[in-house]
Amino acid sequence: MRLFYHPEARLGVNELSAEESAHLSKVLRLRPGDRVTLVDGRGGWHDGQVLEAHPKRAAVEVERSQVDAPRRPRLCLAIAPTKNIDRFEFFLEKATELGVDRIVPLLCEKSERRTLRDERLEKVLVAAMKQSGRRHLPSLDALTPFSEFVGAAWPGARHVAHCLPTQKGLYFERLPKGQDATLLVGPEGDFSPEEIGLALSLGYEAASLGAFRLRTETAGLAGVQMFNLRNDL
């Protein structure tokens, strides 16, 4: 599929960004009259044809638009970025393909990565959305301190996945079906006992993502898939 990202796509003439223009003209070598689709990341799917194939300012005329309603319920995944940024980008790509609504990078006591290049990560999300044919782009928050995030009021079910040997049920079984959800996934080395205690004191429930110890990015993806399966998404 010839998909291009345009967050403000609408009926009529739309000028693409320099990056999408270069992809259209130099990579795909499209020409005026070729059929393409613009996706706006908010559920919109806009079909039309290339008007101008300039490598810096390609233009597309949209002739037909349709918009999908946002999926319900919604999942917010708050996760500590990995020290190896390639592994975190892998997580972002696959979580977008599987379907997640909001991603919040967490700054935790044991975090080994304490800075992020937001622009680069946004590009990873956009590419994954287009590749998978999805119409909704997950929102990506700035790096947020753990205490600040858990101290805010979030709707729906709230769970913290951790590795301490305490009694906790499987996340899939603890999730109430049909509700928005927030899931916390910690860094390499897990959340600190103090962070876990803070989350529990603020209404989060402890949850397990399985019998084995998972890498951070694997745990995040397991949580996304459990949420989707629980809600038939």
pLDDT tens per residue across all 233 residues of the chain: 799 999 999 999 999 999 999 999 999 999 999 999 999 999 999 999 999 999 999 999 999 999 998 889 999 999 999 999 999 999 999 999 999 999 999 999 999 999 999 999 999 999 999 999 999 999 999 999 999 999 998 889 999 999 998 889 999 999 999 999 999 999 999 999 999 999 999 999 999 999 999 999 999 999 999 999 999 98
Q: Which CATH class is domain 75-230?
A: alpha beta
pLDDT of residue 21: 98
Q: Where in the chain do CATH 2.40.240.20 domains reside?
A: 3-67
The residues near 22 (Cβ < 8 Å, ≥ 6 apart) are 55, 56
Neighbours of 227 (CB within 10 A): 26
pTM of the model: 0.94
Q: Which CATH class is domain 3-67?
A: mainly beta
Sign (positive/negative) of CA torsion 186, 112, 84, 19? positive
Check if the beta carbon of residue 107 is closer than 8 Å to that of residue 147.
no
Q: Where in the chain do CATH 3.40.1280.10 domains reside?
A: 75-230
CA distance 94 to 154: 24
Query: What are the strands, taking DSSP E only, across the chain?
Result: 3-5, 12-15, 35-39, 44-52, 59-67, 75-79, 102-107, 139-140, 144-145, 157-161, 169-170, 181-185, 205-208
Largest alpha-carbon pair distance within the chain?
Answer: 62
CA distance 149 to 143: 10
pLDDT of residue 194: 97
Tokens 């745990």 map to which residue?
219
Beta bridge partners of residue 160, listed in sequence order: 184, 206
